[in-house]
Amino acid sequence: MTQEEFNTHHKEFLMSFNSKYRLFDLDFKTVMTMKGLSEEEFNQKIKQINAPKWGEWVDEDNNEWDNYSSTDEDYYDGDDSNEY
């Protein structure tokens, strides 16, 4: 099965979950297994769907962690008493 076919089945599953699969308590992996897909092939193809695109998660021009430095002293106000 090609990745495009897998993506089509996944989209169809999501669109018709409430009407077809919810009452049968079937998840997408079970449905694809019934269509003849092996577990290894399913795991490989689902990773392609779930893999984030690099540009969505990291913006190299505006990375707020580049200049971040913190120590415990940033959070310590110097008061050792436990008065609440």
Handedness of CA 29, 33, 37, 40 (dihedral sign): positive
pTM for the full predicted model? 0.55
Mean pLDDT by 10 residues, the chain (84 residues): 91 87 85 93 88 57 54 56 58
Q: What is the pLDDT of residue 56?
A: 56
Token pair, residue 76, equals: 């310590």
3-state secondary structure of 61: helix
Cα 65 to Cα 46: distance, rounded to the nearest angstrom: 30
Q: How many residues does the chain have?
A: 84
